[in-house]
Amino acid sequence: MEQEDPRTRILDAAEELFYGQGVQAVGMDAVRAASGMTLRRVYQHFPSKNELVEAYLRRRDGRWRASLAVHVAGAGGTPRDQVLAVFDWLGRWFAEPGFRGCAFVNAFGELGATTPAVAAAARHHKEEFAGYLAGLVEAAGAPPATAAHLALLAEGAITTAAIHGDPGAAADAKEAARLLLDGSLDGGMDGGLGGARP
């Protein structure tokens, strides 16, 4: 850690502050103090706060999606099991100390109307997540529309967990996802949710 890249230190500090307190509540001086850098050094790497916010969101998007993909790939099982593993990963995330919901929704709520780059970053994150779910759903053999329904369940669970502070929202969403997924997989053969797998 002693030789950690200055840019990484600044981004680490910014992420903790922006996610924990909100983007608008955190000034560049707070990032400077948390990173242990001089203000001049911070501005050398990020000439404006907007550029720092954009870099924070880009990095968080990549890390978030990579962590999810690693978990799902490591879950093994059938393609159906891997779809449901998304909700297991969400449950782990919800239980982390300092969980405050979706960083992209939070940033969009604060700045989306006035900062097009933040709105674009939020849209990109949500589109990439939906696309990832679509790939899992396709591998499981479910109709494409199922992915959009599962994305809505996941987004609802994220918001519910953040507002109520209850990681159990992931388990509830997983059960709904299981019924939805199994209904879409089995509906053509046995008439619907009655054939849902245990």
Predicted pLDDT at 185? 83
Supply the pTM of this predicted model: 0.89
Residue matched to tokens 């955190």? 26
Predicted pLDDT at 190? 38
The phi and psi torsions of 113 (rounded to 5 degrees) equal: -75, -20
Separation between Cα atoms, residue 19 and residue 75, nearest integer Å: 28
For residues 124-140, average pLDDT: 97
Separation between Cα atoms, residue 188 and residue 72, nearest integer Å: 27
Query: What are 110's two structure tokens?
Result: 């604060």
The angle at the Cα of 147, spanning 141 to 149, to the nearest 5 degrees, equals 125
Q: Amino acid identity, residue 21?
A: Q
Domains and CATH numbers, the chain: 1-47 (1.10.10.60), 57-188 (1.10.357.10)
The angle at the Cα of 150, spanning 119 to 56, to the nearest 5 degrees, equals 30
> Contact, 30 vs 17, CB < 8 A?
yes
The string of pLDDT tens digits covering residues 68-108 is 999 999 998 999 999 999 999 999 999 999 999 999 999 99
**Closest CA relative to residue 78, chosen from 185, 188, 190:** 185
Q: Amino acid identity, residue 33?
A: A
**Closest CA relative to residue 107, chosen from 92, 118, 93:** 118
